[in-house]
A and B are shown apart, each in its own frame.
Chain A
Amino acid sequence: MNNKLKVFIILGGFLFFYFLPLESISFRNPLFEALAMLNMYAREHVIFSLIPAFLIAGAIYQFLDQNAVLKYLGAKTHKVLAYFVASISGSVLTVCSCTVLPLFSGIYKKGAGLGPAIAFLYSGPAINVLAIILTARVLGWQLGLARAIGAIIFSVIIGLCMHFIFLSEEKERQSNGELQFGVSKSEPDSRTGIQNLLYFISMIGFMVFANWARPQARDQSLWAFIFQYKWYLAIAFVLLFIYILFNWFQKKEITPWLESSWSFTQQILPLLFLGIFFAGLLLGRPGEEGFIPSRFIATLVGGNSLSANFFASIVGAFMYFATLTEIPILQGLIGSGMGQGPALALLLAGPALSLPNMLVIRSVVGTKKTLVYITLVVIMATISGMIYGNIIN
């Protein structure tokens, strides 16, 4: 480091701290909001959603045979089936965001072709278990469900559009080579399918009941009844889970499962909490204000107009969201007045596309197809937002 730079840094640091407007409310408030947002996540979401979600993600990675799913994305698969599998398989294949692009590239070049590859690319990031669990928990089950359904349906539509737009090219292109799954066979499970199913149900059951939302006052429905006893139900599932672990699992199966969960945690958690911090700093908790004034958000993406939905889709398409960080950011935006429709539009366009992954996609399919794909994503996300916004209102 040369001397000039040192002088510059020291002088800059001095001026920064000298003029730091600590007394000003408009400066203190966002800082407080950032910490309050972290506090809220640490208290409300870590124990009952994030930890079980990471354990489930680890279990999916470890105990489900991904190759059994991948077989249906090969070149010989019936096209209708390939689209169907591509649009929903993200839920078991893309627990970790770093696997999305190799899968996309593989399906395009060696497997079922452009359409299914695009369908997978669009829906994958939106329907992985972690994303669905946290969206439903933080932003409400309606938006969680709309995100999953919207991603699945529109991924097929976008895939089909791409296929027909580039039909002649696709017909000429010969798939060269076969998909490789390796020769290593998983050891035969010591459990039956039903035992495996119960294992997943015990984890999901705990999470669902531990997070059962408070019913509205004087609600006498089943919902309220379950709320009253939710802890008994949650604990029952934990006991079932412990019983299963001790009786149906061997130690050498449990260790890799915990290792997988731990590796997802390491990859995702630090960036997630950084995202939460900045969402709090810029947007504030729901009802509070961060650096960006609420009326500004409300003007741009409030309500359910075409322009609001379109704007949210465009921003989502270009902005990079680290895995799951779209959720606290959306929470901040909704709290600042963003409409439900534009929120869905951003949720659909956001994780599916970003400037960095556009570059990788371009290297796989070329500039023209990438541009068409981006356009389709923005259009479809806008349309889904409009539809959802209208249903909710």
Chain B
Amino acid sequence: MKIEILGMGCPKCKKLTQNAQQAVAELGIEAEIIKVEELDKITEYGVMMTPALVIDGEVKVAGKIPSKQEIMTWIKEKNN
């Protein structure tokens, strides 16, 4: 599973990264967490509000920080 965090390095992106890491750890799954900081690539996803969370190429949230529980639900949906 590929989890991408989109954001140009603002404090909110760090918070989102933390939440994603915790979600992955708690579920005990194999997932790669990648930070995407280039403006070009962020725009490629059609995302305008950062931070954003992309799971396996699908934009899950843009412009706010989802909670650990929310991220866990999305991961589970993907795995089913």
A interface with B by C-beta (< 8 Å): 66-67, 70, 73, 93, 96, 98-99, 101-103, 105-107, 109-111, 177-184, 186, 256, 263, 266-267, 360, 363-364
Q: Identify which of A99, A102, A105, A364 gathers the most chain B CB atoms within 10 Å of its CB.
A: A102
Contact residues in A for B53 (Cβ distance below 8 Å): 182
B46 touches A184 (CB 8 A): no
Q: Which of B38-66 contact A (CB under 8 A)?
A: 39-40, 42-50, 52-53, 58-66
Which secondary structure characterizes the binding site on chain A? helix
B62 touches A182 (CB 8 A): yes
B49 touches A102 (CB 8 A): yes
Known: A182-B59, A184-B60, A267-B11. A106 touches B48 (CB 8 A): yes
Q: How far is the CB of B57 from chain A (nearest CB, A)?
A: 11
Contact residues in A for B11 (Cβ distance below 8 Å): 263, 266-267
B50 touches A99 (CB 8 A): yes
**Interface status of B32 (Cβ within 8 A of chain A):** no
A102 touches B61 (CB 8 A): no
Contact residues in B for A67 (Cβ distance below 8 Å): 49, 62-63
B66 touches A107 (CB 8 A): no
Q: How far is the CB of B15 from chain A (nearest CB, A)?
A: 8
Contact residues in A for B72 (Cβ distance below 8 Å): none
B46 touches A102 (CB 8 A): no
Contact residues in A for B8 (Cβ distance below 8 Å): 98, 101-102
Q: A102-B48, A184-B61 are in contact. List 12 more A-B contacts (CB 8 A).
A: A67-B49, A99-B10, A99-B50, A102-B49, A103-B48, A178-B46, A180-B46, A181-B62, A182-B60, A267-B10, A360-B39, A363-B39
Contact with A along B1-36 (1 / 0, CB 8 A): 000000011111000000000000000000000000
Report 25 cross-chain contacts, Cβ distance below 8 Å, ordered by A residue: A93-B49, A98-B50, A101-B39, A102-B39, A102-B47, A103-B49, A105-B40, A178-B46, A179-B47, A180-B45, A180-B46, A180-B59, A181-B62, A182-B52, A182-B53, A182-B61, A182-B63, A183-B60, A184-B60, A184-B66, A266-B11, A267-B10, A363-B39, A364-B39, A364-B43
| Cα of A99 to Cα of B47 in the assembled complex, Å | 11
Q: How far is the CB of A269 from chain B (nearest CB, A)?
A: 13
A109 touches B43 (CB 8 A): yes
Closest B residue to A110 by CB, please name it: B46
Q: Would you list the 8 A-B pairs with minimal beta carbon distance, nearest first?
A: A106-B48, A180-B59, A180-B46, A182-B61, A184-B61, A105-B43, A98-B10, A182-B62
Contact residues in B for A360 (Cβ distance below 8 Å): 39
| Cα of A180 to Cα of B52 in the assembled complex, Å | 10
| Cα of A363 to Cα of B44 in the assembled complex, Å | 14
Contact residues in B for A105 (Cβ distance below 8 Å): 39-40, 42-43, 48
| Cα of A67 to Cα of B80 in the assembled complex, Å | 29
| Cα of A364 to Cα of B44 in the assembled complex, Å | 12
A106 touches B66 (CB 8 A): no
Contact residues in B for A66 (Cβ distance below 8 Å): 49, 63
Closest B residue to A185 by CB, please name it: B61
Contact residues in B for A93 (Cβ distance below 8 Å): 49
Contact residues in B for A109 (Cβ distance below 8 Å): 43
Contact residues in B for A181 (Cβ distance below 8 Å): 59, 62-63
